[in-house]
Structure 1
Amino acid sequence: MTNIPKEQLRKMELGRPADFSFKKLTKIQAIGLENARYTRVGGVPDKGPEKRFLTKSLWLNNNKLKSTKNLNLLVDAAIEYPAELGWIDFSFNFISHIDESLLKFPNLRILYFHGNCFNDLNEVFKLRPLKGLRSVTFHGNPIANHPRYRSYVVSVLPQIVNLDFTPVVKTEKLFAVPPEVVKKFQEEKLKRQSTSQKLP
């Protein structure tokens, strides 16, 4: 946690989200704070010393986004303490690809991807480094039709406690790991070994 003044921290905890939903955005970029919506949540978040929003939540739902690429540009421009970002709503877009820029926010706890275009379960694997992630949604995507969808996500993201607004129960974590996940784990292990052997 960065050294945030108590009053600003309180405003972040209780504050409104930075709402950039329903803006017809086709790509993520640094856009002016005046573009934030205020009608859905009765206003915009308070601003900090750098004139950026004091919030831990970013809503980008109901746009036309195809990727999470350049997320850091928007977050750095719009949010006072980017590292504290904890919730992003990407629901109802056209996203099929998770860009590594999403991993620059280690305190993410909630990610909504429902109603998008993910058709490759391997995209879920990219979220593994987000150890603080607790709730994620992918229903309404093609991957949710995969027969082992839920067991795949729970195996790949053991840190989550909610998937698609449904609690992950203990017994789910006891199920056999799907073969697709075993293969990905093996590939990841080989990649790490290869990288460590190349180091001097």
Structure 2
Amino acid sequence: MGDNGTAGDIVSENDSIADTNQLDTNGTQNEGSDEVEVSLDLEALEIELNHSRVSSMAVLSVLTKTECLGLRNNTIKTIEGINQLLGLRELELYDNQITRIENLDALVHLESVLEIPIIYRLVLDLSFNRIRKIENLENLVNLKKLFLINNKISKIENLSQLANLELLELGSNRIRVIENLENLVNLKSLFVGKNKITKLDNLNPLKNLELLSIQSNRIIKIEGLDQNHNLDQFYISNNGITVIEGLDNNKKLQTLDLAVNKLKRLENIEHLTQLEELWCNDNGIDDWKDLDVLQKLSALRTVYFERNPVASHQMYRKKIMLICPQITQIDATMCRT
């Protein structure tokens, strides 16, 4: 169970796209230079130059047939050299030294160059860089997934043109307010964990939101989710929540993560009849009567209550199985059938 609220902790969203055309990365090091010279397969649809000591993207302009370009963990400081890559649909610049989002206008052609009716993932990953501002993305109108994990971003802004965006990952930044998302009507997953957010706010326009991760922030109250009827995964661990509330209209919830908060009672969840996983470990729940509500959650299969006062009972696991016989996992241990 993750504690920093990033996509990689919860789901493997940023896995690579398989393709039979791979890059020949057998290279030689230039004399007197730390950068490795790599041979480029101009026919390859997917190219990965991860950990290759690439410092400049300028030499990549010849890759006009490339659809997926991976440049993870290099020393790139400037986004450049991709204006000719009109077929590019996935660009990964994870873990470089980029300070500014720029020179991405060519990606506006992402969808128009496709000749077959297949739904592609249109992905931009600029995680683990030194970016301070979200900017220069207004032309990437076909973008589906945007990863900006672990940068120095303090404000959510300049995303209004990305109406097709389905996943936005802003974990591990310096954001204090959830804002300027009203145009992202197709957004399904929002990750804002490990920031400095104090309030669940401005989420009502996100009618299609299915996953919200706001772990490791400064939230003290569950609120502002009245219009998010399609929410099925809610991760709000490592905050300051004292009362379970504000989930009356979120009846589709299947996963609810309330771990490491300040809860004393298990309450106001009896209406969550589709709930399959409930994580409440590391709280202060001390009354076994509160756990009787689990009887009403017929879909429930996994619960976490370790490091609560109730978990100190010598018959802890047995009592939970008696309350909720369909349970298959208690904490990190599977139940015996």
TM-score (norm 2): 0.36
1:57 maps onto 2:233 in alignment: yes
CA distance in 2, matches of 1:118, 1:54: 28
2:229–2:252 Cα contact (<8 Å) kept: no
1:135–1:163 Cα contact (<8 Å) kept: yes
Structure 2 residue matching 1:160: 3-state secondary structure = coil
Question: One-letter code of the match for 1:23?
Answer: N
Q: Which residue of 1 aligns with 2:253?
A: 85
Question: One-letter code of the match for 1:159?
Answer: Q
Question: One-letter code of the match for 1:111?
Answer: L
1:18–1:53 Cα contact (<8 Å) kept: no
Q: Which residue of 2 aligns with 1:28?
A: 222
Q: Which has the higher helix share?
A: 1
Structure 1 residue 130: Cα displacement: 0.4
**Structure 1 unmatched runs, 5+:** 1-6, 33-49, 77-81, 171-200
Structure 1 residue 110: Cα displacement: 0.3
Structure 1 residue 23: Cα displacement: 2.5
Question: One-letter code of the match for 2:305?
Answer: F
Structure 1 residue 89: Cα displacement: 0.4
Aligned positions of 1:150-165 closer than 5 A: 150-165=317-332
CA distance in 1, matches of 2:214, 2:315: 34
CA distance in 1, matches of 2:271, 2:290: 16
1:26–1:65 Cα contact (<8 Å) kept: yes
| More relative contact order, 1 or 2 (CA 8 Å, 6+ apart) | 1
Runs of 4+ in 1 over 6 A off after TM superposition: none
Pairwise CA RMSD of aligned residues?
2.6
1:69–1:98 Cα contact (<8 Å) kept: no
Q: Which residue of 2 aligns with 1:143?
A: 310
Question: One-letter code of the match for 1:60?
Answer: I
1:112 maps onto 2:288 in alignment: no
**Structure 2 unmatched runs, 5+:** 1-118, 120-165, 168-187, 190-210
CA distance in 1, matches of 2:229, 2:272: 16
Question: One-letter code of the match for 1:94?
Answer: K
Question: One-letter code of the match for 2:283?
Answer: N
Aligned positions of 1:14-25 closer than 5 A: 16=189, 17-25=211-219
CA distance in 2, matches of 1:119, 1:59: 22
- CA deviation digits over 1:126-159, x for unaligned, max 9? 2210000000000011111111111111111111
Structure 1 residue 55: Cα displacement: 4.7
CA distance in 2, matches of 1:60, 1:104: 19
Q: Which residue of 2 aligns with 1:47?
A: none
1:160–1:168 Cα contact (<8 Å) kept: yes
Structure 1 residue 69: Cα displacement: 2.2
Q: Which has the higher strand share?
A: 2
Structure 1 residue matching 2:216: 3-state secondary structure = coil
Which among 281, 292, 312 is matched to residue 125 of structure 1?
A: 292
CA 158–122 in structure 1, closer or farther in 2 if over 3 Å, else same: same
Q: Which residue of 2 aligns with 1:68?
A: 244
Question: One-letter code of the match for 1:57?
Answer: Q
Structure 2 residue matching 1:154: 3-state secondary structure = helix
Structure 1 residue 84: Cα displacement: 2.3
- Counting aligned pairs with the same residue, the percent is 22
How many residues of Structure 1 are paired with residues of Structure 2 in the alignment?
Answer: 132
CA distance in 2, matches of 1:53, 1:24: 24
